[in-house]
């Protein structure tokens, strides 16, 4: 049995109107939503918040009443916040789709939350298809949050992912015309500015603007390079203080240099490699002077 009446009552909660009062089951559901909000804001018990939202959504399953639609949206908003606090953000979109089944049926408020959440954790690509489907659904064009969803799709999905050509096409499309209207040129200017900044940053780092390189492998590689640099400096100091009799230590130093080259995978033709090659040349020169400098001084004195 439905917990809300199936009669259409287009009024907001808390307002005084001629619509019939909510049933006891509906009041119980409203109390559940209030309880979930209290658990979120006061007690910070996020698992309890999510469990309460799950029970509330189960009670509302299969209903299409306006009141129930608003309650369902409220439960989903609190549930998304709870999942994010529990560090279970990767399951948010799947959980929302369990409640609404189709991507285009997700309310604008929830679509906005999902875009912002996945963008914040660096996984904007997860929302690209869902947001595109939602924006291209004709029934969503008249919704109150349509323009906001379009702006978030442009600025938090397409632009951060480097999809500048898709961003230009989106602005020029019929959907973009509805979403941006007189602000189309301003939106296009933002895209062009971000594209130029991305190209300049790629040129400074020696990466081709069209290539897609993830940040995580670079961070791991940088950490390895820093460790090898520290090891090279330590071994170099040992070579300076060890004297001329410890050739195995010098061999070990050379092995470390070779490992450094292998791990960093330097490309001599890349501009980003010039700094590392220069450092290695300096190290070799210093090592050469330390190892053979006294020998040449002795020869010159004899002559």
Q: How does pLDDT run across 151-180, given as a tens digit for each residue?
A: 999 999 999 999 999 999 999 999 999 999
Give the residue ranges of the chain where pLDDT is below 70: 1-23, 62, 64-66, 206-303
Q: How does pLDDT run across 239-294, given as a tens digit for each residue?
A: 556 554 544 555 555 555 555 555 554 555 545 555 555 665 666 666 666 655 55
pTM greater than 0.85 (yes/no):
no
DSSP string, the chain: --SS-SS-----TT---SSPPPPHHHHHHHHHHHHHHHIIIII--HHHHHHHHHHHHHHHTT---HHHHHHHHHHHHHHHHHHHHTT-GGGHHHHHHHHHSSGGGS-HHHHHHHHHHHHHTT-GGGGHHHHHHHHT-GGGTTSTTHHHHHHHHIIIIITTTT-HHHHHHHHHSHHHHHHHGGGHHHHHHHHHHHHHHHHHHHHHHT--TT----HHHHHHHHHHHHHHHHHHHHHHHHHHHH-SS-HHHHHHHHHHHHHHHHHHT--TTSGGGHHHHHHHHHHHHHHHHHHHHHHHHHHHHH-
């Amino acid at each position: 049995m439905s917990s809300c009446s199936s009669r259409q009552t287009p009024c907001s909660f808390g307002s005084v109107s001629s619509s019939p009062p909510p049933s006891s089951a509906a009041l119980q559901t409203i109390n559940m939503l209030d309880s979930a909000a209290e658990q979120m804001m006061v007690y910070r018990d996020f698992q309890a918040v999510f469990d309460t939202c799950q029970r509330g959504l189960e009670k509302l399953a299969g209903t299409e009443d306006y009141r129930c639609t608003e309650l369902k949206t409220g439960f989903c908003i609190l549930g998304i916040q709870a999942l994010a606090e529990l560090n279970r953000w990767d399951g948010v979109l799947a959980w929302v789709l369990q409640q609404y089944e189709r991507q285009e049926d997700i309310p604008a408020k929830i679509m906005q939350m999902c875009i912002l959440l996945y963008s914040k954790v660096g996984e904007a690509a997860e929302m690209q298809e869902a947001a595109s489907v939602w924006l291209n659904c004709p029934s969503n064009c008249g919704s109150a949050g349509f323009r906001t969803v379009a702006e978030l799709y442009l600025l938090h999905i397409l632009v951060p992912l480097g999809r500048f050509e898709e961003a230009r096409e989106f602005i020029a499309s019929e959907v973009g015309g509805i979403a941006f209207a007189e602000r189309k040129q301003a939106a296009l200017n933002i895209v062009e500015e971000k594209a130029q900044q991305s190209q300049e940053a790629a040129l400074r780092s020696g990466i081709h603007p069209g290539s897609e390189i993830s940040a995580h492998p670079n961070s791991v590689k940088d950490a390895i390079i820093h460790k090898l640099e520290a090891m090279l400096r330590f071994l170099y100091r040992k070579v300076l203080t060890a004297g001329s009799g410890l050739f195995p230590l010098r061999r070990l130093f050379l092995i470390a240099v070779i490992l450094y080259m292998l791990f960093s995978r330097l490309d001599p033709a890349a501009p980003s490699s010039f700094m590392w090659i220069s450092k290695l040349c300096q190290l070799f020169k210093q090592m050469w002077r330390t190892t053979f400098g006294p020998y040449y001084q002795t020869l010159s004195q004899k002559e």
